[in-house]
Amino acid sequence: MTLYTSPPWGLRHDITPCFGARLVQEGNRLHYLGDRAGLYGTFSAMQLRALDRSFPVFIRRMESALRSGELDPHKAHTLRREKEGLICEADTRGSCGYVYVSVYPAPQPA
């Protein structure tokens, strides 16, 4: 499945396929807004199923990182997590209200 949306959401990467989103931060909670997200490039059906299963887990991990201070709304710092062959990178970019996210397939070993 290939989808392109404009403008690109999430952290900017030259990696495709990629899912990008801008989540709204409210305290230590994150809210996903579908109109602030997009798929870029071609995901396989298996990768899309993994994304459907993994994204809620990634959100919970980001909320935990906000509670622990590992992810700080006032400071730019990239948090990286991996699950089901997908890499999730998140960063507030010091925005005090948003978390920018990119999820893409982990590189396959050579």
Domains of the chain: 2-105 (3.30.450.20)
Residue with tokens 């999730």: 88
The pLDDT tens digits along the chain (110 residues) read 445 555 677 776 678 899 999 999 999 999 999 889 999 999 999 999 999 999 999 999 999 999 999 999 999 999 999 999 999 999 999 888 999 999 999 988 77
**Predicted structure pTM score:** 0.88
Pairing relation of β-strands 18-26 and 29-31?
A: antiparallel
* Measured distance CA(101)–CA(10) in Å, rounded: 5
* Measured distance CA(38)–CA(74) in Å, rounded: 25
